[in-house]
Amino acid sequence: MAGYSGEILRINLTTSQVTTISTADYEEWGGGHGIGTALFWDLIPDKTLTDGFDPANVVTIMSSPLAGTLVPAAGGRTEVQGIGTDAYPTCWFTRSNFGGRFSPMLKYAGWDGIVIEGKASSPVWIDIRDYSVQILDAGSLWGKDTWQTQTEIWDFVSPGCGPGGPGFGARSAPAVLTIGAAGENQTRMGSLIHDAGNGAGQGGFGGVWGSKNLKAISVLGTGAVQVADPNALMDARLWSKDYGWDPNNPVPPMWMLSAFGGMTGSAIYGTPDIPRRSQGCLSCHRACRSRRQGANGNESSCFDMGMYNAYDQMAHGGAMTEVTFQGADLSQKYGINNVAVHGALVWLHNLHSQGIAGPGLEIDTDLPFEELGELSFLEEFIERIVNSQEIGQYLAEGNARAAEALGRLEQDLATGTLPLQYWGYTHHYDARTQVDWGYSSIVGSRDANQHDFNWPCYWMPSMTILYGLEPPVPAEYLAQMVATACQPYGDPMMADYSDEGIYSEHMAKTVAWSRHYSGFWKQSLLLCDWAYPDIFNYYGPGMMGLTPQAEPMFFHAVTGQNLTFEDGMEIGRKVWNLDRAIWTLQGRHRDQEVFADYTYDVPNVPGFSSHEVPYVMPTYEDGVWDYRPVWGRSLDRDSFELWKTSFYELEGWDSATGWPTRSTLESLGLGYVADELEAHGKLGG
C-alpha cells in the first residue's frame, strides 16, 4: 500500500542479528502505536513482564504511512512503545512519541519502523543508511550528552555537516535518537532525545535503552515515499491552509492554545527582547516550537519550559528569564523527563516550605533551596538524580518510589503535596475538573497527554473568561461542535463537565472516543496531538474545526485506501483493546484504577499547578448549557466507581474486573488475544 515503505527492521542486540519484517503483515493496524503494539504482542516472550529494564523487553519505534509526506502536522512524528520504567506501582506496557524528522528519515531510508530486542554486551549505537544497517561500538559516545552525541554522529555519518562545518546547510545530517546520562544510568526518568528539543519523555524509555546498552539510533535516508494520489494530497494540504494560523489574521491570544488553528511557536514561547522564529517538525503548519537568538531553548516547548518556569519567575520578580530556556536545554542534554523533574521539584519545594525537607530535617537534604529558580539549582538537582547522589538516590527511582522509600508516599498523596495523580505520573491536567484527562490516564497506562477536549473545553473558555471576555461560541454551540466532530457517538452531552455530567454515561463516551481516536488517527497514523482533533477552530466556518472531514481525506490521498472516519475509530478501538489485553496480562484489575487520594479528599484549588488557570468548562445544569467554574471540586469515590462500571460496559469489558471479554475481542478479530487471556485466567466473563 502506498505510504508504507514495506519493511520493518528487527534488531536483536544480544545476537547482533538484523532481520526484517514485512509491513504488509501488520498494515491492518495502521502504523505507529497500532503496528508497534501488535509487534510487541507477537514478539515479547512473556506478556506478564512488568520490568522495563529486563533484557526481554521489546521496544518498537514506528513511523506511519503519513510520515515524510505533506499531510499537515503528521509528517514528522515517531511513536515508541514497550514496557516502561516510571509508572507506579506497576510498570505498564506504555507509549511515548516525539516530533522532528526521525520518522520521515526512516521512511526515506526504506523502513516503516524498528524493533529492538535483547541487550548488547557493551554500549552500541545503530547506524542506518538506507538499506545498510550496522551495530557499532558506542564506547566513545557513552557518557556524552544528547547534543554532543548527535553532532559527533552527524560528523561521522556526514562529515562536515555539523555546526560550523563546511557542509552546514546541506542538511545531510542523519536524524538521530539518543539517550543522555539519565538513560545511561538507568534512572526511571530517562527520555529519548532527537535534535535539540524533540523528546519521548514520559514512560522512562531512556532507562530502557540504557539497560540494553543502546546509546543511539542514527538514520540517513535518500529515498522517497509513495503517495497514491499526489493531486489529492496537494489539494487537501492547500484546503487545510484555511484552517491554519494566518500571520495576517492571527488568533487572539486567549485562543492561542487550540488545535489545528492554534498559534505558532514564536508567539507562544519566548521573551520580548529575544528575536526568534517559529520552528516546526517536518511538514507541520503549526510550527509550535521556536528557535531563538542565542539558541537557548531551541525546539523546546510546553513542559520543557514548564518544568522550571514558575521557579524562574519566583526568583526573578515575576519575570521569565533565560533560566527557563536554559533549564529546558539541560533536560534535553541530560535526556531526562522534564515532567517528572517538575513533579520532583514541586514535591520537594512543598516539603521544604513545610519545614520537612532540609539539612537535618525529616527529609535530610542539603539541596540549596535558597538558589531555587536559578540555573545552578536545577543543574545540581538533575545531576543528583542522574548520578543517584544524596536525595537523587531516591528520585532516580521515580517520584513515587522515592516517596515510598522516604516514608512519605501515602500522606503526601493524600494532601497533594506530592502531585502524582495517576499511576505515579506528575499531575498534568486535573482529574477533578477536566475529568476526561484523568479518566483516560487511569484506564490507560500513563498521563494520557492527549489534548482532544483540553483545548476546546478547558483552555478556550477558561482563557477567554480570564481575559474578561465572552467566549467566542456559547457552551451549547460548543457541545454541538463536539457532537459533530466526535463520530460515531455524535453526542453533545459528551461536553458536559457538570458535577453530574462527569460521572455520566456521556462522559464514558467522551473517554472512549478519545481512546479510540488516539488509538488510530493520532497514535497510529501519527497526526500530532497539537493539531488534531480539530473541534474548535477560529478560522473554520462557524468556528468549526476540520475533524472528522480531514483525517480520512489525508489518509486516502496518501494510501489510496477508502477508510471512513468511523472505520478508523473502529481500528482505534481494536488497538485500544490490544493495549488493554496486555495490561490485563500484566496484572491490571479495576480495583487498581484509582487516583491519588487528594483527588477525592482535597478540592481543586486554582493555581494548584504552575501551568493551569482556573477551570471554567461547559456544563449542562437545570436544562441550560453554560460555561461555569468547576474549580473547588473533588471527585466522589463511589460515583467514580460507578462511572468506571459504565465505561467498562460501554467498552464491552467485564465490569467486575475491567478485563476485555471474548465477545468484544472476537468482534475486533482478536480471538487469539482472548485465547491468551483465557489461558492466563484473565478473560473477562
Partner 1 sequence: MSNRERSWSEGVKSRVSRKEFLKAGAAVAVGVGLGDALVRVEHRGEGVVAFAGPEGSIVVDTLKCAGCQSCMLACSLGHTGLENLSMANICITQESFVGYPDDVAAHVRGRCDLCANTPFWNEQGGVGGKQACVEVCPMRAVEFVPA
Residues binding partner 1 (CB under 8 A): 4-7, 68-70, 72, 75, 108, 110, 147, 150-151, 163, 168-171, 195-197, 222-227, 230-231, 233-235, 237-238, 241, 244-245, 247-248, 264-265, 275-287, 290-295, 298-299
Contacts of 33 (CB under 8 A, 6+ apart): 62, 79, 81, 95, 519, 523, 524, 575
Task: Tell me whether residue 293 is exposed, middle or buried, using C-beta atoms within 10 angstroms of its C-beta: 0 to 12, 13 to 18, 19 or more.
Answer: exposed
CB of 274 to partner 1, least distance (A): 9
Report d(CA 648, CA 291) in Å as an integer: 45
* Minimum CB distance to partner 1 smaller for 229 or for 626: 229
CB of 223 to partner 1, least distance (A): 5
Report d(CA 506, CA 518) in Å as an integer: 18
Q: In this structure, what C-alpha cell is assigned to residue 568?
A: 478508523
CB of 246 to partner 1, least distance (A): 8
CB of 247 to partner 1, least distance (A): 6
Q: Look up residue 207 and give its DSSP letter.
A: H
Task: Please report which residue ranges of 560-636 form alpha helices under DSSP H.
Answer: 565-586, 598-601
Phi, psi dihedrals of residue 340, rounded to the nearest 5°: -70, -40
- In the three-class reduction of DSSP (H, G, I as helix; E, B as strand; rest coil), residue 28 is classed as helix
* Minimum CB distance to partner 1 smaller for 110 or for 203: 110
Query: Are 93 and 586 in contact, with CB atoms under 8 Å apart?
Result: yes
* Minimum CB distance to partner 1 smaller for 88 or for 325: 325
* Minimum CB distance to partner 1 smaller for 278 or for 664: 278
* Minimum CB distance to partner 1 smaller for 278 or for 504: 278
* Minimum CB distance to partner 1 smaller for 280 or for 471: 280
CB of 8 to partner 1, least distance (A): 11
* Minimum CB distance to partner 1 smaller for 224 or for 405: 224
CB of 323 to partner 1, least distance (A): 17
CB of 261 to partner 1, least distance (A): 11
Task: Tell me whether residue 87 is exposed, middle or buried, using C-beta atoms within 10 angstroms of its C-beta: 0 to 12, 13 to 18, 19 or more.
Answer: buried
Distance of CA 322 to the CA centre of its chain: 26
* Minimum CB distance to partner 1 smaller for 74 or for 420: 74
CB of 326 to partner 1, least distance (A): 13
* Minimum CB distance to partner 1 smaller for 291 or for 451: 291
Task: Tell me whether residue 163 is exposed, middle or buried, using C-beta atoms within 10 angstroms of its C-beta: 0 to 12, 13 to 18, 19 or more.
Answer: exposed
CB of 149 to partner 1, least distance (A): 12
Query: Are 217 and 125 in contact, with CB atoms under 8 Å apart?
Result: yes
Q: In what order do the strands lie in the sheet with 124-129?
A: 132-137, 124-129, 214-220, 175-178, 192-194, 198-200
First CA to last CA distance, the chain:
38
